[in-house]
């Protein structure tokens, strides 16, 4: 037999097995003369203006009859007691169905098993069934007799043996069906791998990689897996439904199996149907607010580009302000939509909302603080992206400004992430603000002994500043005498810079030129400390300025 013929044989063999299994489950689940009940719960019946509650009397999962109750004797409790009495009678092999009898007791009719009371039929019970009391009592007696007979028959050796054989046959059929299905799936996988996967790769090449062959293959394989899993689950459910109804001890659960699986789906479907008007309102609301946000985005984009301007409104404020306005619009949308959200009025929804609110408020205090600090810094205009700043001990260029943190890149090419709340509570030095206007001052100090004239020192410092090529010539540098120390005078040279990013290189060049000038004129720098006059001045002779390995061209 060829491979394709064998595959067709397996598939044809699986179909009768499924049909036989479904037919057996359906035939066995509907015994003659008995109607399954969905649940042993009280059922309200509207009669005129009053609500009458009835409950089913269930024996081995089958409803024998329905009874009503009163406030002091609920229907559910009465039904449970009647069912318990019927089971006791059925378990007593010495009891005969012929011992059931009817006895009138005033305004009620009693059904007795010998001298033992089974139940009492009242006028209210008869009115509920729209029968006279005696007719209802006779019908109830017959139904109790049938229930006792069925109870004993289902527990007889013959019925249990037959049920066991049916269970064994169903188990063998399920295993065979799953085995055949698994083999068919393996052959189907091989067929798809051989015939389809290669064509998908060719389709991807022809579409210039617009179509992703790997994704299509995963989708196809996932669809195959979904269908196979669904078929397996359906077969197992049918098997369990059939198996559980074979035996009286599990029959009630077997009768309820489909309801247990379908009730949630039915509830979801009914909920979706009832929520359609609210969902339509929410859809319209989403579309409306979406266009509002688009209009706002166009407005603030024009402000950011400069094509639209408001007096006193900076261009750099456009996108942060848009985010704030968008947040307010979304909050308004949530407030409007909340009453129309399915389940929003339920206690569970409100409880979960409160719980999430508490968790958010407890765990996001620092996040909110950084968020507010980010917007505060934006409108405060403390610095911009690209500015050279010092925040606490960190010096660097602002690489990125976010709502929660600011990224600073140091001259050592290190990226430092600083929370905005820390920046808001710290002193920020912005070197770039005045550097763009040519008014950033770089300064450094030297300590020179009292034996050196201060005019000479100031002239040498000015000469060192003039030799530093990248410093601004205007405004001119100036020298301050900062302190008259115990052993030296502290001089400070101040120069102007137009590029904050080059300040470290300028400091280096300035220091180099100061050392060269003071060495040229034989003046010793006394800082950082003075102990005593050395035998020889601590200067570098000019013939050693380019000692090896210093390049002579420097």
Per-residue model confidence as pLDDT tens digits over 174-202: 999 999 989 988 888 888 777 776 676 66
Name which residue leads in pLDDT, 484 or 210: 484
| Rounded average pLDDT over 229-254 | 88
> Would the pLDDT of 326 be above 70?
yes
CATH code for the structural domain at 383-429: 2.30.30.60
pLDDT given for residue 10 in this prediction: 41
Give first-to-last CA distance, the chain, whole Å.
93
**Euclidean distance between CA atoms 340 and 337, whole angstroms:** 5
pLDDT given for residue 176 in this prediction: 93
pLDDT given for residue 439 in this prediction: 84
> Would the pLDDT of 19 be above 50?
no
CA neighbours closer than 13 Å in the CB half-sphere of residue 41: 5
Could you tell me which residues are beta bridge partners of residue 63? 58
DSSP line for 140-156: HHHHHHHHHHHHHHHTS
> Would the pLDDT of 167 be above 60?
yes
| Rounded average pLDDT over 10-15 | 41
Q: What separation in angstroms does the CA of 130 have from each of 124, 126, 157, 318?
A: 10, 6, 41, 78
Segment 431-470, tens digit of pLDDT: 888 888 888 999 999 999 888 889 999 999 999 999 998 8
Decide: helix, strand or coil at residue 16.
helix
Place of tokens 């603080």: 369
Least confident of 83-97, 135-149, 254-268: 254-268
Name which residue leads in pLDDT, 328 or 320: 328
Q: Which of 2-11, 213-222, 320-329, 541-550 has the highest mean pLDDT?
A: 320-329
> Would the pLDDT of 295 be above 80?
yes
pLDDT interval class at 352 (50, 70, 90)? confident
| Rounded average pLDDT over 122-148 | 87
Q: What is the mean pLDDT of the chain?
A: 80
Could you tell me which residues are beta bridge partners of residue 171? none
pLDDT given for residue 11 in this prediction: 40
**Euclidean distance between CA atoms 291 and 338, whole angstroms:** 20
Segment 500-523, tens digit of pLDDT: 888 899 999 999 999 999 999 988
> Would the pLDDT of 103 be above 70?
yes
Segment 224-241, tens digit of pLDDT: 888 899 899 989 988 998
pLDDT given for residue 206 in this prediction: 61
DSSP line for 39-63: -S--EEEEETTEEEEEEEEEETTEE
> Would the pLDDT of 403 be above 80?
no
**Euclidean distance between CA atoms 40 and 252, whole angstroms:** 10
Name which residue leads in pLDDT, 525 or 549: 525
CB atoms within 10 A of CB 119: 23
Segment 62-79, tens digit of pLDDT: 888 888 887 778 888 888
pLDDT given for residue 16 in this prediction: 42
Q: What is the DSSP letter of 312?
A: T
Helices (H), 132-210: 133-154, 157-191, 197-206
pLDDT given for residue 528 in this prediction: 60
> Would the pLDDT of 22 be above 70?
no
| Rounded average pLDDT over 270-285 | 88
Is the preceding peptide bond at 193 cis, omega within 30 degrees of 0?
no
pLDDT given for residue 482 in this prediction: 92
pLDDT given for residue 529 in this prediction: 64
pLDDT given for residue 17 in this prediction: 41
Least confident of 218-227, 289-298, 469-478, 526-535: 526-535
Q: What is the DSSP letter of 525?
A: B
**Fold held by 434-544:** Alpha-Beta Plaits (3.30.70)
**Euclidean distance between CA atoms 480 and 112, whole angstroms:** 122
pLDDT interval class at 20 (50, 70, 90)? very low
Q: Who's near 480: CB < 8 A, 6+ residues apart?
A: 491, 492, 494
**Euclidean distance between CA atoms 98 and 83, whole angstroms:** 19
Decide: helix, strand or coil at residue 428.
strand
Name which residue leads in pLDDT, 357 or 412: 412
Residue 312, classified by CB atoms within 10 Å of its CB into exposed (0-12), middle (13-18) or buried (19+), is: exposed
Which of 216, 176, 211 has its CA nearest to residue 192? Answer: 216
Least confident of 26-30, 114-118, 172-176, 413-417: 26-30
> Would the pLDDT of 543 be above 80?
no
């Amino acid at each position: 037999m060829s491979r394709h013929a064998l595959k067709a044989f397996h598939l044809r063999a699986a179909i009768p097995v499924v049909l036989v299994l479904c037919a057996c489950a359906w035939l066995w689940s509907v015994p003659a003369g008995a109607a399954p009940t969905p649940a042993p719960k009280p059922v309200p019946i509207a009669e005129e203006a009053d609500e009458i509650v009835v409950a089913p009397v269930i024996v081995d999962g089958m409803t024998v009859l329905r009874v009503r109750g009163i406030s002091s004797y609920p229907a559910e409790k009465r039904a449970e007691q009647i069912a318990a009495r019927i089971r006791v009678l059925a378990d007593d092999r010495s009891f005969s169905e012929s011992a059931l009898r009817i006895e009138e007791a005033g305004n009620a009719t009693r059904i007795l098993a010998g001298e033992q009371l089974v139940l009492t039929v009242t006028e209210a019970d008869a009115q509920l069934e729209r029968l006279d009391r005696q007719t209802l009592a006779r019908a109830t007696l017959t139904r109790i007799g049938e229930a006792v007979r069925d109870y004993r028959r289902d527990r007889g050796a013959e019925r249990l043996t037959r049920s066991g054989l049916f269970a064994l046959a169903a188990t063998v059929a399920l295993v065979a069906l799953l085995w055949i299905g698994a083999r068919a799936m393996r052959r189907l996988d091989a067929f798809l791998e051989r015939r389809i996967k290669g064509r998908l790769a060719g389709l991807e090449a022809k579409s210039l990689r617009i179509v992703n062959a790997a994704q299509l293959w995963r989708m196809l394989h996932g669809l195959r897996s979904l269908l196979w899993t669904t078929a397996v689950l359906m077969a197992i459910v049918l098997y369990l439904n059939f198996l559980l109804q074979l035996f009286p001890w599990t029959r009630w659960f077997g009768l309820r199996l489909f309801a247990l699986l379908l009730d949630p789906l039915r509830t979801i479907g009914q909920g979706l149907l009832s929520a359609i008007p609210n969902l339509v309102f929410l859809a319209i609301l989403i579309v409306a607010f979406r266009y509002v946000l688009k209009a706002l985005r166009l407005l603030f984009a024009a402000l950011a580009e400069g094509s639209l301007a408001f007096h006193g409104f900076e261009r750099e404020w456009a996108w942060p302000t848009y985010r704030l306005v968008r947040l307010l619009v979304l909050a308004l949308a949530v407030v409007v939509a909340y009453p129309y959200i399915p389940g929003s009025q339920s206690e569970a929804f409100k409880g979960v909302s409160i719980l999430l609110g508490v968790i958010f408020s407890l765990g996001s205090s620092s996040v909110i603080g950084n968020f507010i600090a980010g917007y505060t810094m934006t409108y405060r205009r403390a610095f911009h992206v690209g500015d050279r700043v010092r925040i606490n001990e960190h010096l660097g260029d602002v690489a990125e400004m976010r709502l929660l943190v600011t990224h600073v890149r140091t001259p050592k090419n290190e990226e430092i992430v600083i929370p905005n709340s820390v920046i808001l509570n710290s002193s920020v030095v912005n070197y770039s603000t005045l550097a763009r206007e040519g008014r950033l001052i770089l300064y450094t100090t030297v300590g020179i002994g009292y034996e050196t004239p201060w005019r000479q020192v100031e002239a040498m410092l000015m000469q060192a500043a003039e030799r530093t090529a990248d410093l601004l010539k205007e405004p001119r540098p100036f020298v301050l005498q900062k302190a008259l120390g115990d052993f030296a005078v502290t001089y400070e040279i101040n120069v102007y810079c137009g590029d904050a990013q080059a300040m470290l290189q300028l400091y280096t060049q300035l220091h180099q030129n100061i050392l060269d000038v003071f060495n040229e004129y034989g003046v010793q720098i006394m800082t950082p400390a003075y102990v005593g006059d050395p035998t020889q001045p601590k200067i570098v002779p000019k013939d050693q300025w380019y000692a090896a390995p210093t390049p002579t061209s420097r």
